[in-house]
Amino acid sequence: MTYETIHFETAEAIATITLDRPDNANALNPAMGRELYDAALRCAADGGIRAVIVTGKGKMFCAGGDLKAFHEQGDQASAMVTRLASDLHAALTRLAHLDAPVVMAVNGMAAGAGFSLALSGDFIIASEAARFVSAYTGAGLTPDGSSTYFLPKHVGLLRAKELLFTNRVLSAEEACAWGLANKVVPPDALMAEARSLAAGFAQGPTRVFGALKQLLLSAYDSPLESQLERETRNIAMTVGSRDGRHGIESFLAKKPPSFQGE
């Protein structure tokens, strides 16, 4: 696929997906939904990708759905939004099930679907210029893009309701204090910080990271016994893996491990 709304590049086992509609606040339109899904599929298919960064071009991370495009569809808006949300959700599902950790580098305003997209990351690094706002109800809409799944897990149900019902805008520092970002950095340090973090992940036990991601996805939904059974299966799998054996040997030899992601 030739991309028109995102930029996709890989280097040193890291894939970087950049939302690339800066003149339109990186708003999501149907083309961007399709392209994000394609990029996520590429990440899933390429075993050499061991970390992913998602960021925005320009001053905005993502202002959400392209409401102008929705309005222009008139009576066909519901069909268009169904297609867009389906592609976006398919992309988010693929990223969530990647072994590779996903780092969100939030460079500016994350609103609506951009807010949801940011919250879906495994790690969230925010520029001091970043702002976080749900925004959906202000436009008479309910959320999409996974925020009703991830937001309550990050901040608790009451605070999630506050953000979703009132559209309160959080600064980067407030978002970090609330649990919506791991770290806040100056704008000119954002991508260096994200790449440094991703580079560390790319040298890690990628298969283990993937198993850990799946365990955490089920952490709020499973009875204790079911979660313990998943933990048993996964630690048994990882202890027999190449990286598991190497990690144990390195620990016993008091040497730093050199993981292969296997």
Average pLDDT over residues 218-227: 91
The mean per-residue pLDDT over the stretch 83-112 comes to 97
Full 3-state SS string of the chain? CCCCCEEEEEECCEEEEEECCHHHCCCECHHHHHHHHHHHHHHHHCCCCCEEEEEECCCEEECCECHHHHHHCHHHHHHHHHHHHHHHHHHHHHHHCCCCCEEEEECCEEECHHHHHHHCCCEEEEECCCEEECCCHHHCCCCCCCHHHHHHHHHCHHHHHHHHHHCCCEEHHHHHHHCCCCEEECHHHHHHHHHHHHHHHHCCCHHHHHHHHHHHHCCCCCCHHHHHHHHHHHHHHHHCCHHHHHHHHHHHHCCCCCCCCC
Question: Is the confidence at residue 221, as pLDDT, over 90?
Answer: no
Q: How confident is the model at residue 261 (pLDDT cuts 50, 70, 90)?
A: confident
Share of the chain above pLDDT 90, in %: 95
pTM of structure? 0.95
Residue 1 confidence (pLDDT) above 90: no
Average pLDDT along the chain? 96
Query: Residue 190 pLDDT more than 90?
Result: yes
**136-141: average pLDDT:** 95
Q: At residue 15, does pLDDT exceed 90?
A: yes
